[in-house]
Structure 1
C-alpha cells in the first residue's frame, strides 16, 4: 500500500478502519464507589483521518484513548486495532501490539535526555531489534522539520522541537494508528500550532491515522472530525470543524450540564 493521497490506494485507506470500539465499557471501583468512565461507547477511527476527541473534564475522553491503545484494561465490549481484538490479550501480546501497530504522543515529551534527537526517534525500533526504513525516516524528519537538529540532545532543544521529536518517533515505525493525548498541552501557542501542523501533514502527506485527545477548540480545528464525549458516552460529532464551531458546541454541553 502506498502512502500517497491519490488513486486506488487512497480510496482504500479512506474507507478502511484503523481502530474500532464496540459497546466499549470501562468501570472503576465497585459498589458505592463504582464509576462508569465509558458507557457502551461505539466509534470507528478511519485510516488516513485525523480525529479529535473532546469533552468536559471527566467525560471519558482520555480513558477511551487509553483503552483503545491497550494502555488500560476493558470492562466490557470490544476494542480493535485493525483486525486485532485487544480484549483478553496477554501482557506480552499487548506490548507487541503497542510496539508494532501503535504510535504514542503525550503531553510530556518522554524523551531520554542522554540520547540525541535521532536516537530518541529510532529508540522504539532499536529496542525491538528492527532497522528503520531510511527513506521513510528521512521523509518523516523532513515532514516535522528536524533536519538540522538530529544531533542535538533534548536539553538543547526548545519545547516545540522536543515535541517534534516525539511526533517523529511516533511516525518513524509507520504504525497503523497514532494516539496523541493533549500533545500541545505543554507548548506555547506558536509551538503548538507547529506540532498540530505536522500532525495534519502526516495525515495528508504520509497517509497516517491520528486520534488526538484535546480540550482546545483551536487544536481540534486541525482535525478532519471531532467526536464529543459527555458522561462516558458519545453525544455528538462534527466533520470539518472550525475552532468557533467546536467552541460553540462545547459551550452548549456546558450549559446543558449546568441545567441538568
Structure 2
C-alpha cells in the first residue's frame, strides 16, 4: 500500500516516493522505503507503527527537520528540496508548528512569553484576536504569567500547543505529545488538538504509539518497515489495536 490520498479534500502536505537511508552496504538501514502520502488540510491525522517503522523519520522530513535521501516533500504547493536555507528557515517559522514530547519551553520565560517566542524572534506581533482564541482554546489564560516550573505537565504541553498554533502555521506536527503526561493531562491535550482541527480548520499530524491517542484523530496511517501498509478513517481504540497487531506481526517465510 504505497499511496494514500485524501480524496477531494485540500492537501496541506504530501510526500512522493520518499526514501531515507542510513549507513552503507550491508549496514544500510532503510528508515523510509518509498512513502507516498497526502495529508488533508483541516484534518487530524495520526501516524503509527512498530518501533523502527519510520514514523518519526517521516514526520521530521515533512517538518523540514531532516532531509530525505530521495523523493519529494511538499508543504502546500512548495517542494522543500527546491528551497534555499533562508527559504527553509522562513518556512519552518511561518508555515510549520511543532509540538515536542518534552515541551521544549524556555524555563526563564513566562507562559505568555513562551507562546509568542517564535513571533518575537521574527519581530512580529501575533494577531490579538487569534491569540485570544488560541489561549481560550488551550484553557491557559489564568497561567500566562507563570513560568514552566510553576505549571503542571499538562499545562506545559498546552503552552507548547499554543506556541505551535499562535502563528497560524499551515500544518502542526506533534511528536508523541502525550508521552510525558498522565492519562488525564494527555486526554486534555488530545482533545485540544482535535478541537484545533475541527473548530479552527488547523491541520494536525501526530506521531503516537498509543491506540487511545489515535482514537481522537480523523485518520490513522500505519507504517511498517518504512512503508505505508494500512490506514483507518474515524478510528476507535479497538480498530487501531486490530491493525497494530496485524502490522506488527512477524512475516512468515
Asked if TM exceeds 0.5, the reply is: yes
Kindly provide the CA deviation profile for residues 190-239 of structure 1, in whole angstroms up to 9, marking residues without a partner as x.
00000000000001111100000000000000000000000000000000
Q: Equivalents in 2 of 1:92, 1:31: separation in Å?
A: 34
Matched ranges for 1:1-260 at <5 A:
15-255=9-249, 257=250, 259=252
Q: Which runs of 4+ in 1 moved over 4 A?
A: none
User: In the comparison of the two structures, how many residue pairs are matched?
Assistant: 246
Q: Equivalents in 1 of 2:182, 2:64: separation in Å?
A: 30
What secondary structure does 1:148 align onto?
A: helix
What secondary structure does 2:142 align onto?
A: coil
Asked if the contact 2:224/2:248 (under 8 Å) is kept, the reply is no
Q: Equivalents in 2 of 1:104, 1:134: separation in Å?
A: 21
Q: Equivalents in 2 of 1:253, 1:45: separation in Å?
A: 21
Q: TM-score, normalised by structure 1?
A: 0.93
Q: Structure 2 stretches of 5 or more lacking a match?
A: 1-7
Q: Equivalents in 2 of 1:192, 1:246: separation in Å?
A: 18
Root-mean-square deviation (Å): 1.0
Q: Structure 1 stretches of 5 or more lacking a match?
A: 1-13
Q: Equivalents in 2 of 1:233, 1:26: separation in Å?
A: 11
Q: TM-score, normalised by structure 2?
A: 0.95
Shift of residue 254, structure 1, vs aligned partner = 2.3
- Could you tell which deviates more after superposition, 106-115 or 88-97? 88-97
Shift of residue 91, structure 1, vs aligned partner = 2.4
Shift of residue 258, structure 1, vs aligned partner = 5.7
Shift of residue 89, structure 1, vs aligned partner = 2.6
What secondary structure does 2:18 align onto?
A: strand
Kindly provide the CA deviation profile for residues 34-84 of structure 1, in whole angstroms up to 9, marking residues without a partner as x.
111111100000100000000000000000000011100111111000011
